[in-house]
Amino acid sequence: MRCSICDDAAVARSSRSRKLLCSSHFMEAFEDQVAKTLKAGRMIEDGNRIAVALSGGKDSVVLLYVLKKILAGEAVELFAITIDEGIKGYREDTIGYARRISDELEVELKMRSFRDEFGSDLDRIVVGRDEAPCTFCGVLRKSALNRAARDLGATKLATGHNLDDEAQSVMMNYLRGDIEGLLRLSPKRPLPGLVPRIKPLRHIPEKEVALYGILAGVHPEAPECPYAHSSMRFEIRRMMNGLERDHPGTKGSVLRGFEKILKSAEDRPAATPLSSCRICGEPTFRDLCRACHLLGRSR
Amino acid sequence: MRVILPDGETRVMSSGGPLIRDLLEELGINPLEVLVARNGRIVPEEDLAGEEDEIRVIRVVHGG
């Protein structure tokens, strides 16, 4: 099959344009889409110091690579933060790759760990707990990333969330009936103590992020997280991929519907004002932040 | 054709349909979760899979 633009061998049909594309036209379309997302969401301004959350997995590696390429010559600073959650037999490889790719791209990398931030590795934290390991990992990593980005003077925190991740998060909040959580997925106003998060890959399907990584030669050969199968997200992912296969465009519809809800809720005051966690001082809408709540800190 | 699955298992098989998509369906694999290389080059799953081809299925959607 041939590229519909230049007649070279096609590598994929674009989910957006529905055109068959060769390697170079696929990469060009991908980069255009990221640039368009950055512009439409006014995600980056001159003088920004952007922290990229770099796990070493494919999404964050592609994010760092594409931002470095797109923002070359712009008046912004780019650096990376890696959080070592402490997952034996899994994080050694991905953290090694995060170090290697940041070296290759000449981007400064700052390391933080659950052990430093919370006194213990994830592997130890989850022993004997009822909640899924992914709940701890997600909440604690988000907290550690925000603290590190703020302490390192970042004005934006970029994460590698793709269309699949976004659609899954929206569905998870719907299924839990957590409308406050849903609205917090994409805060419209800056909140004190929270470094504004940007998601430049949020309109791109996971499969296309992976393909871009392979074509750019930066796709990590990473093992699967040993905790992945225990999460609700794993079930939602499977369900959403089944729906998308049978009804193409479902994930995009979920995201567009969510954006309409956000717009209609724009002027709605928050149910509870943002305050500081009485244990760790991090921003929270409750008395205790979710990280301290999960860790059972109550002094 | 020779099919190399994401876990490294290799199978020699014939597909019921002419397309890579047909092969994935037979294997119970959702095309949204994999990329496919035919004879070492990534191709769209609507492309053909011939009897002499080597098809490698690469899992790209992981948990975590």
Helix, strand, or coil here: A75?
coil
SS3 assignment for A118-171:
HCCCHHHHCCCCCCCHHHHHHHHHHHHHHHHHHHCCCCEEECCCCHHHHHHHHH
What is the C-alpha to C-alpha distance for residues A192 and A278, in angstroms, rounded to an integer? 16
Residue A227 with chain B: CB contacts under 8 Å: 63-64
Residues of B (2-61) whose Cβ lies below 8 Å from A: 30-35, 41-44, 46-47, 58, 60-61
pLDDT at A131: 85
Chain B nearest-CA distance from A248, in A, is: 10
Average pLDDT, stretch A256-272? 81
A180 pLDDT higher than 70? yes
The CATH architecture assigned to A40-268 reads 3-Layer(aba) Sandwich (3.40)
Do A207 and B32 make contact, defined as CB atoms within 8 angstroms?
A: yes
Mean pLDDT of A161-183: 91
Mean pLDDT (whole number) for A232-239: 90
Domain range summary for chain A, segments of one domain joined by +: 40-268, 271-299
**E strands present in chain A:** 10-13, 20-22, 49-53, 77-84, 108-113, 156-158, 197-198, 275-276, 283-284
Q: Which of A1, A66, A69, A77 is nearest to A44 (CA)?
A: A77
Kindly list the averaged pLDDT for each block of 10 residues, start to end, along chain B of length 64: 94 88 94 95 95 93 60
Identify whether the C-beta of residue A67 lies closer than 8 Å to the C-beta of residue A78.
yes
Helix H or strand E segment including B38: strand B34-38
Yes or no: say if A11 and A27 are a contact pair by the CB < 8 Å rule.
no
Q: What is the pLDDT of residue A225?
A: 82
pLDDT above 70 for A34: yes
Mean pLDDT, residues A43-53: 96
pLDDT tens digit sequence for A97-137: 999 999 999 999 999 999 999 999 999 999 988 888 888 89
Task: Give the percent of chain A with pLDDT over 70.
Answer: 97
* φ, ψ at A192 (rounded to 5°): -55, 130
At A43 the pLDDT is 94
| Distance from the Cα of residue B27 to its chain's centroid | 8
Answer whether CATH 3.10.20.30 is correct for domain B2-59: yes
A141 touches B at CB < 8 Å: no
pLDDT of residue B64: 43
What are the pLDDT digits (tens) for A265-278? 877 766 667 888 99
ipTM of the complex: 0.94
Q: Is the pLDDT of residue A263 over 80?
A: yes
Tokens of A62: 């592609």
**Widest pairwise Cα distance in chain A:** 67
Could you tell me if B4 and B54 are in contact, meaning their C-beta atoms sit under 8 angstroms apart? yes
Pairing label, strands B34-38, B10-12: unpaired
Q: How far is A47 from chain B (nearest CA, A)?
A: 33
Quote the distance between the C-alpha of residue A270 and its chain's center.
24
Kindly state the average pLDDT of the residues A223-233: 80
